Amino acid sequence: MAAWCSAESTKPVFVGIYGAVLGGFAVSALFFLLSSFSSLSAPTLPLPAAAIAGANLSAPTFAQAETMYNRPIWKPPPRRARMPSPRAFRLTRDMVAARARDGVIVVTFGNYAFLDFILTWVRHLTDLGVDNLLVGAMDTKLLRELYFRGVPVFDMGSRMVTEDAGWGSPTFHKMGREKVLLINALLPFGYELLMCDTDMVWLKNPLPYLARYPDADLLTSSDQVIPTVTDDSLENWREVTGAFNIGIFHWRPTEPAKRLAKDWKDLVISDDKLWDQNAFNDLVRKKFGQPVQGDDLVYSYDGKLKLGVLPASIFCSGHTYFVQGMYKQLHLEPYAVHTTFQYAGTEGKRHRLREAMLFFDQPSYYDSPGGFLSFKPNIPKSLLLDGAHTVESHFELVNYQLKQIRTALAVASLLKRTLVMPPLWCRLDRMWFGHPGILEGTMTRQPFLCPLDHVFEVHVMLKDLPKEEFGQHIDFREYSFLENPSLPKEVKDSLLEVELCDEHSSRCSAVDEIDKHGPFLLPRNSTEEKLLDLLSSYKDVKIIQFSSMVDAFGGFADAAVEKKFRNRVNRYVGLWCCVEFRDIGHIYYDMYWDEKPGWKPHPPETREQDHPPWS
């Protein structure tokens, strides 16, 4: 708790900074040494256009001397500036006051593993003109990185590891407890607090919406997947069945809110295995159900706390945004998306935001050294639209796409190119429990464009698997990659279109006669040798786009190379879940389903059979 102190226990912030610089060189040197593990030359996140043009995105609303607390966001400290002393990064009332606007502060926190998420979070807010924000750093590496990038940051004193904390791990629970402690530290400062997880982004300035409900002690997001309202009003709390989600919630510094925060803190500290969100829900629902006058809010917790539930249609979960597209169907403007309801950990969250073109990557992401490979997927209407939406028709549709993606992965590995994944269509939703195909009452359409992690193990695809067993790594990008505004024009314009042809046709026999104004012709089922021979002269072309991957490749020449490739791509696919009323209800996808006569999508019959097809 040393990182958090009230203003009464410290000198004024601005005096403290200079005092620390003049009188604390020994401490500063030690802190600088501890922080030196960060990448001093780390590539810079592209700044908003307004910042590049010199616009003051987050200038203070009143004239005052510029300090590290009120400096415009994205404006780094002066060149060759030294890292201030640890005392300068302590969370104080003065620090919050310097950044708050209209009595509100917006806060997120994390460790170095979430640096790109945090930069994306900040970038979205500054693009919206919201600058009253602070970021809590759980390790010194993140603290240093954010400070030198011009992001307002404070030290949480957590001394957290810099690696990713997997869901449910002891580190994950520690991060949850730190959030509760942080809320308890901030509320006594007297400012409204919009607390956010780093795995969410803002799409619209939420502060005017939150101000519509000044009587609420607490406004929380939820895991509600069935709409209870069709406009932008708060959810009908009587009909909310999903858990309250603590990834986005707005606290007012009222006595009931402070009491809830304290009881929540005491509860999670008493049991280090208790999930902070479950503890929050248990407390809030202790006394729940008495409407506040006006009916938008409900008395909860101790019968005095006034609670409102933010509408999941516009304060979106991973399901209402990526699967249902609820805001589109209701013709509403979303305020936020939180990457919940996904199946591939942090990597899956990042990929979903990339699919939606909501993630800000480094420039190098958009210019792979070996170039890119893409293809136009081919899906017969009968597989996509005809017949009932059943487990069988879902797997027929997905398997047809898997075969094309498998071929594309093979071609990409041969050409040493990064594969741009195609859009993936599903008939059935994925959950952690048995369901009838889609959740009843939701707005999920069938078929729907499903996130890659519904079928693929995104986190496995990104792993550095041993080459001796799995061959060379195959990099990939999201299906929307070529439409992303961040893709440089010189990359987009460097394109070779490849069209498949029948080897013995007259058109295909003229394959050596290159038509500069038409597509490059490639015989179907080309061998590895022919594929490399015909396309080797186009190494400098950034994007090679196939008109189809159906029968595009005849197979590897080297059996050992093919074995390694199979080992790799077999692990790329996951499972669908789940058939109702079954002890084991999930069904594994199989990348080589077509090589197994009579293959059917059935759940494992026994625990012994419950394993991926490659194991």
Query: H/E element holding 23?
Result: helix 13-23
Three-state SS at 336: strand
Distance CA 181, CA 433 (A): 33
Q: Which amino acid is at 526?
A: S
The CA radius of gyration of the chain, in Å to the nearest whole number, is 27
CB 28 within 8 A of CB 21: yes
Distance CA 205, CA 335 (A): 7
Per DSSP bridges, beta strands 425-426 and 448-449 are: antiparallel
- Select from 504, 219, 463 the least CA-distant residue to 346: 463
Query: What proportions of the chain, in percent to the nearest 5, are helix, strand and coil?
Result: 35, 15, 50
The backbone torsions φ and ψ at residue 407, rounded to the nearest 5 degrees and listed phi first, read: -65, -45
DSSP-derived letter for residue 297 is S
Could you write out the DSSP letters of every residue in 126-152? HHTT---EEEEESSHHHHHHHHHHT--
Distance CA 157, CA 331 (A): 44
CA angle 292, 296, 300 (to 5 degrees): 50
- Domain segments of the chain as ranges: 1-47+78-91+103-183+197-202, 364-595
Q: Which fold has domain 364-595?
A: Rossmann fold (3.40.50)
Burial of 96 (0-12, 13-18, 19+ CB in 10 A): buried
Task: Write down the pLDDT at residue 53.
Answer: 40
Neighbouring C-alpha atoms within 13 Å toward the C-beta of 356 = 22
Distance CA 83, CA 37 (A): 13
Task: Write down the pLDDT at residue 27.
Answer: 38
Task: Write down the pLDDT at residue 38.
Answer: 36
- Select from 478, 183, 442 the least CA-distant residue to 317: 442
> Could you say which residues of the chain have pLDDT below 70?
1-64, 160-173, 509-517
Strand order across the 244-251 sheet? 153-155, 133-137, 104-110, 192-196, 244-251, 218-222, 305-309, 298-300, 290-291
Could you write out the DSSP letters of every residue in 539-567? TT-SEEEES--TT-B---S-HHHHHHHHH
Task: Write down the pLDDT at residue 159.
Answer: 72
Distance CA 129, CA 393 (A): 47
Task: Write down the pLDDT at residue 81.
Answer: 86
Task: Write down the pLDDT at residue 246.
Answer: 97
